[in-house]
Amino acid sequence: MKTHSPESRDVKQTVEHHFSQVAANYRTSQVHAAGVDLEQMVLAARLSGREVVLDAGCGAGHTALAFAPHVARVIAYDLSAPMLEQVAEMAEERGLANVEIQRGDVENLPFEDGMFDIVTTRYSAHHWPNPQRALSQFRRVLKQGPTSRGQLLLSDVVSSDDFALDTFIQSIELLRDISHVRDHTPTQWMAMLSGAGFTAELVYQWDLRLDFSSWVERMATPADAVAVICALFDRAPEDVRSALRLEADYSFTFRGALLRGVGQ
């Protein structure tokens, strides 16, 4: 039987609790409902229409719903029951009968080996306490064979190899959302994918402008934490302010990366 440390369980309980409270915000969030990366994920998959897809850490289900019209079946999988309710409601509204919901942990997938053609995950991975365990699970449930190798498409905000900028990014992320674990760099993701048995490639990168008010309201960040984030921005070194394209209203720009992993 697999066991997890108390620290991992606490992180996951925090993720479930916080995202369950703000599930409706993520249904309407334009960062999650749209974005150039969502289109790029679908294009990168090179779909035939026969695929079975797992959307891991699906949140409100925008990725699952983007793939559903182009594949045979999608399972939207998340820790938060209220998030899954958002997925089911939107799938019904759009007449997408091939979307199923299932609650669970990405680090312990209940699915059979080789069940999926594609695993997608978007804006979820920075909440995983043990990302290498999740990647190994994805590798297990993807098809593996000489003529049919499954693929993982992972899209997320990423950090920087510059230590000062990385420290600043992790600090404001954690202040905004205590369930945050880490924004990894593309280099770190490539190494973790390789370690989990994937041939990895960086498919696409983009700039993600975040409106500050929407960013903190979406997560219901407490006012005292918002004040600390603003104070950090005010005192940040000029190179950090420049890298994040800090604006007068504290809006800023992160980097995003889409990576593909194919089983070796």
User: Measured between alpha carbons, how far is 218 from 127 in angstroms, rounded to an integer?
Assistant: 16
Domain count, the chain: 1
| pLDDT score recorded for residue 145 | 79
Helix (H) or strand (E) holding 170: helix 163-176
pLDDT over 70 percentage in the chain: 87
Q: Do 137 and 109 form a contact (C-beta atoms < 8 A)? A: yes
The model's confidence at residue 149, banded by pLDDT at 50, 70 and 90, is confident
Residue-wise pLDDT tens digits, 46-81: 999 999 999 999 998 999 999 999 999 999 999 988
| pLDDT score recorded for residue 4 | 46
The residue-averaged pLDDT of 204-232 equals: 95
230 within domain boundaries: no
- Higher pLDDT pick, 22 / 199: 199
193 Cβ partners below 8 Å, 6+ apart?
135, 152, 154, 200, 259, 261
34 within domain boundaries: yes
Q: Indicate whether 197 pLDDT > 90.
A: yes
| pLDDT score recorded for residue 198 | 97
81 Cβ partners below 8 Å, 6+ apart?
20, 103
| pLDDT score recorded for residue 20 | 47
The residue-averaged pLDDT of 209-234 equals: 95
| pLDDT score recorded for residue 22 | 53
User: Measured between alpha carbons, how far is 96 from 68 in angstroms, rounded to an integer?
Assistant: 7
User: Measured between alpha carbons, how far is 138 from 148 in angstroms, rounded to an integer?
Assistant: 15
162 within domain boundaries: no
152 within domain boundaries: yes
209 Cβ partners below 8 Å, 6+ apart?
245, 251, 252, 253
Mean confidence (pLDDT) of the chain: 90
90 within domain boundaries: yes
SS3 6: helix
Residue-wise pLDDT tens digits, 5-47: 545 456 666 554 545 455 455 545 555 555 889 999 999 999 9
User: Measured between alpha carbons, how far is 154 from 214 in angstroms, rounded to an integer?
Assistant: 24
User: Measured between alpha carbons, how far is 20 from 26 in angstroms, rounded to an integer?
Assistant: 10
221 within domain boundaries: no
| pLDDT score recorded for residue 218 | 87
Instruction: Of 83-87, 157-161, 163-167, 209-213, give the lowest mean pLDDT range.
Output: 83-87
| pLDDT score recorded for residue 110 | 97
The model's confidence at residue 91, banded by pLDDT at 50, 70 and 90, is very high
CATH number at residue 16: 3.40.50.150
103 within domain boundaries: yes
196 Cβ partners below 8 Å, 6+ apart?
132, 135, 136, 138, 139, 261
236 within domain boundaries: no
Q: Please state, as a whole number, how many other Cβ atoms lie within 10 Å of the Cβ of residue 253.
A: 15
73-78/52-56 β-pairing: parallel
Domain that holds residue 98: 6-156+180-206+255-263
